[in-house]
Every structure is written in C-alpha cells, then in structure tokens.
Amino acid sequence: MNVKKKFKKLISKETVDRIVKSNWVEFEDNTECVGYNKEITINFLETDGKGDTVIHLSFNYDLDNEIFYSGNCIDHPEIEFSTYDEMIQHLIDIESQIIDNGFKFINL
C-alpha cells in the first residue's frame, strides 16, 4: 500500500501536499505489524539537541476502526477522532501545551 496515496484519499491531495511542503515528514505503513491494528502514519520529524532525527508528532489512521489520532507529547492515552478535521482542531486547541512542553508545532 502506498501510504501517501491512502492519506490523499482520506484527507485530500491538497492537504497532504501542503503538509509535505510545510513540514519534514515521513510516511509509515504499519499494516503488517502482527498483534496491532492496521495503521498508517504521517510522522513529523525534527533534529534533537544531539543531532538525531526524532519524531515529535504524528498523524495516525487506524484502518481497522476507521479513526484518526495524533501521537503527541500531551495526549496519553491517545484521543480518537472520527474525522481528520476533529483531530486537527484538537491539536490547535492544545498547541500552546505542546510548545510549553518543549516541542515544535507543525505547520498546518
């Protein structure tokens, strides 16, 4: 499965293109992980203080349950959303907490 194409179908080509243009990202296919739900992910990357590439936030879509959630430094456990727009609005609502926790916020 091409994860980028799947996200384009889920959230629109324009949205994926804007995310890719404005952020350092990688697409991850977790559909073959045994014992886990089948998921696809957009990881938002940055370089930490030691020069290592780290994931500071992610958008996840659970193909089995058809839900979105974000992996971030604030939400634990992850909060599930029926739509991408709901997940984005939640992230905007907690943006200051993410930044206060020492992480960058994504360019939407």
pLDDT digits (tens, 9 = 90+) for 83-107: 999 999 999 999 999 999 988 899 8
Give a yes or no: residue 106 inside a domain: no
Give a yes or no: residue 46 inside a domain: yes
Q: What is the tally of structural domains in the chain?
A: 1
54 pLDDT more than 70: yes
Give a yes or no: residue 105 inside a domain: no
The predicted model scores a pTM of: 0.91
| Domain span including residue 62 | 3-100
Query: Which are the contacts of 38, defined by CB distance < 8 A and separation ≥ 6?
Result: 30, 31, 62, 63, 64
Select the more confidently predicted residue: 66 or 103: 66
Query: Which are the contacts of 59, defined by CB distance < 8 A and separation ≥ 6?
Result: 7, 41, 42, 44, 68, 70, 84, 87
Residue 64: what pLDDT? Answer: 92
Give a yes or no: residue 108 inside a domain: no
Q: What is the DSSP letter of 64?
A: T
**Which pLDDT band holds residue 20 (cuts at 50, 70, 90)?**
very high
The DSSP bridge partners found for residue 70 are 59
Give a yes or no: residue 62 inside a domain: yes
Q: How many CA atoms lie within 13 A of 95 on its CB side?
A: 8
Give a yes or no: residue 107 inside a domain: no
76 pLDDT more than 90: no
The Cα 25–Cα 4 span in angstroms is: 11
1 pLDDT more than 70: no
39 pLDDT more than 90: yes
Give a yes or no: residue 44 inside a domain: yes
One-letter identity of residue 11: I
34 pLDDT more than 90: no
Give a yes or no: residue 60 inside a domain: yes
Structural contact between residues 33 and 52, judged by C-beta atoms closer than 8 angstroms: no
